[in-house]
Structure formats: C-alpha cells, structure tokens
Amino acid sequence: MSYSGPEFEPAPSRRSPLRRPLVVALAALAPGALLGWGVYAAVGGPAAPGGAASAAVGTPAAGSGSTGPAADGDGKPTASSGSAGSGSLKGKVVVIDPGHNPNNFRHTAEIGRKVDIGTNRKECDTTGTSTNSGYAEARFTLDVAHRLRALLQAQGATVKLTQDGDRAFGPCVDERARIGNTAHADAVISIHADGAAAGDRGFHVILPASVHAGAADTRPITARSHDLGVRVLGGFRRVTGSAPANYLGDGTGLVTRKDLGGLNLSTVPKVFIECGNMRDGKDAALLTSGAWRQKAALGISEGIVSFLRG
C-alpha cells in the first residue's frame, strides 16, 4: 500500500557522484538475479510462509480447521467445492433421496397410483408440504441434497441422487428404495421437512421397523440403520443447534415406522430425516435460510461420515 500527502513525503537526500554508475550496475544485475531465484524456487527452494506458492494451489492454511467445501454468501457450496476428495470415504457409496419432486403437483394422477410397500399398498409419492409463504418441501430437500452431495464428494465418497428435479414426477417410493439397493449403497439418507401444526418444532430421524411381509424384509438392516440414524441425529443436532422434535419421539429425536415403502423395501442401511416443521414460523425461518441449510447438510454429512468410518 502506498500513501501520498505531505506527511508521507520522503526526506530529501544528498546526491552522490557515484550514484549514477551504481544504479546502472544494479540494473544490469537485476534480471539475472531474478532469473536465478525463479530457477531456485522451481526446483524446490523454500517459499515464504503464507506466500503465493501455497495460495496458488488452494491448500488450506495449517490449523484453519476447514473440513468441508467453501461456501458463498448464502451458505451454498461454490462451483469448485468438493472437486477433490480427501479420500477418507473412497470406495463408499452414499445414495441421497431428496423427498418428493418439485414437479409432482403437475402429475397428481401418476403419483396417486398405489404401489406395493410390503406391508400394504400406498401412493407412489406425494407433493410434500410447504411453508406458509409457499417455499416447497421439494425445493428444500433438493437444495440440502446438493449441499450434502458436495460435502460427501469432498470426502471421496461416490454419491448418487434418487432424483435431481430432472424427471416429470417421482420416483415412486418403491423405486426410490430400488435405487439404493441397486447401487449397493453403504448408506442411504432420505431428506424431508415435516408439515405438522404450528408450535410443533424440531427435527427427527425415522428408523425402519423390523418388517417381514410380502416384498419387505428389513430384519438384516434394522441394527445398522439404527446406528446410522443415531449418528445422523447427533451430527445434525450438534451442527445446527436444533432440538429434537417436541411433538413425537418422546424428545429423543428418533421415531420407528413400518408404513414407509422407502424403508420397508430397502436392503441397505437407510433412514429418513425430517429437518424441521415447515408449518411453524420459527422452524420455517430456519428452513428458508441458505446458511442454515448448509449447516443442516454439514450435520447430516458428519453423521454419515461417522457411520461409514465405523
């Protein structure tokens, strides 16, 4: 930084009769000196601490505490986020299931048809809920899914989404389960937000019940799914600061259900998370915040990483 003004003017100096020849000599030597330093640095000479050499490759400073992708002002991962994984989850497959679909409301007949979920038949899918101001659950789930994918990919995991807003509707709940099964996923997380009464606040994680009926047999995955759910609950609570739901689960934040096809038909560890209640004003203020959704994704990712590392 340079300054101008009377108070920063340099004091006048006396001109030496040797100054002119000396300046010429130094000017002649400067290019060679710079060239020599360039070669020295290129072959492994020490760089100044915090210098441009380390900044150019985007390496975090030691002790920075950075464990995930960079985010923009709204808390959303930047385009370069997660481009290089740490490798800690290399070989692991995670399937993210963003609940519902932004286009479902245009296809009520298609999503209304019944499919087999093992214990009975149920609607293919639903439109989901929304905040009182009209922010749709399907938009929320897809946004959190994108953030979560970036975080997990940055850890080296292979990540697949059951839908990316790129299909007319669905997929149906039985197909969502098949996607995780076919991928031989090490973990599947289905992302949702609830539509309970105002005043009902908090999040909860849904675990598969032990079901053995028709096409459903969750017995081989219930224990592992419970472990996954507990870890996701812990990570989500720690990072977001949210409390477990005050309207179900007896304050534990864990709910076991046997009426969800996405869980009943899964053959790999899988849980749902209801991140908050869209119909409550205080919860809705969180769910509509990009910065908070980034925290939600980070909390979920920490739970999944903990589960996959064992």
- Sorted by where each starts, the structural domains of the chain and their CATH numbers stand as 93-309 (3.40.630.40)
End-to-end Cα separation, the chain, in angstroms:
52
DSSP 8-state class, residue 309: H
Helix, coil or strand: residue 160 = strand
Q: How would residue 86 be classed by pLDDT, with cut points 50, 70 and 90?
A: low
Task: Give the whole-angstrom CA distance, residue 124 versus residue 168.
Answer: 13
pLDDT for res 65:
33
Q: Which residues contact 166 (CB under 8 A, 6 or more apart)?
A: none
Residue 206: is it exposed, middle or buried by C-beta count within 10 angstroms (0-12/13-18/19+)?
buried
pLDDT for 174 equals 98
The packing angle between helices 290-309 and 222-240, to 10°, is 140
Instruction: Indicate if the pLDDT at residue 297 is higher than 60.
Output: yes
Let me know: does 173 contact 125? Beta carbons within 8 Å. Answer: yes
Residue with the bigger pLDDT between 90 and 39: it is 90
Single-letter amino acid code for the residue at 52: A
- What whole-number distance in Å separates Cα of residue 14 and Cα of residue 29? 25
Neighbours of 116 (CB within 10 A): 16
> How many whole angstroms from its chain centre is CA 102?
19
Residue 74: which pLDDT band, with cuts at 50, 70 and 90?
Answer: low
- pLDDT at residue 30 tops 50: no
pLDDT higher than threshold 60 for residue 274:
yes
φ/ψ (deg, to 5) at 200: -80, 120
Residues 72-97 have a mean pLDDT of: 65
> Around Cβ 55, how many Cβ atoms within 10 Å?
10
* Averaged pLDDT, 46-63: 30
What is the amino acid identity at position 46? P
Q: Are 95 and 185 in contact (CB under 8 A)?
A: yes
Q: What angle do CA 220, 221, 226 make, to 5 degrees?
A: 135
Kindly state the percentage of the chain with pLDDT values over 70. 72
Of 137, 175, 274, 302, which is the active-site residue? Answer: 274
pTM of the model: 0.75
Residue 171 to residue 297: CA distance in whole angstroms:
22
Condensed to tens digits (0 to 9), the pLDDT of residues 192-214 reads 999 999 999 999 999 999 999 99
pLDDT in tens, 175-189: 999 999 999 999 999
The pLDDT value recorded for residue 104 is: 97
228 neighbors 305 (Cβ within 8 angstroms): no
Task: Specify the pLDDT at position 76.
Answer: 52
CB count within 10 Å of CB 103 equals: 17
Q: What does DSSP assign to residue 296? A: H
pLDDT band at 114 (very low <50, low <70, confident <90, very high): very high
What is the rounded CA–CA span in Å between residue 276 and residue 131? 11
- Tell which phi-psi region holds residue 159, choosing left (phi > 0), alpha (psi between -120 and 50) or beta: beta
pLDDT at 33 over 60: no
**Is residue 123 annotated as part of the catalytic site, yes or no?**
no
Q: Which of 7-21, 64-78, 156-170, 292-306 has the lowest mean pLDDT?
A: 7-21
Confidence at 173, pLDDT banded by 50, 70, 90:
very high
Give the DSSP H or E segment for 190: strand 187-194
- The residue that leads in pLDDT, 71 or 295, is 295
Note the helical H segments in 241-289.
Answer: 261-264, 281-287
pLDDT of res. 87: 73
Neighbours of 186 (CB within 10 A): 21
For residue range 116-140, what is the model confidence (pLDDT) as tens digits?
A: 999 999 999 999 999 999 999 999 9
pLDDT surpasses 60 at 57: no
φ/ψ bin of 288: left (φ > 0), alpha (ψ from -120 to 50), beta (otherwise)? alpha
Three-state DSSP class for 131? coil
Give the mean pLDDT of 63-68. Answer: 34
Mean pLDDT of 253-269: 98
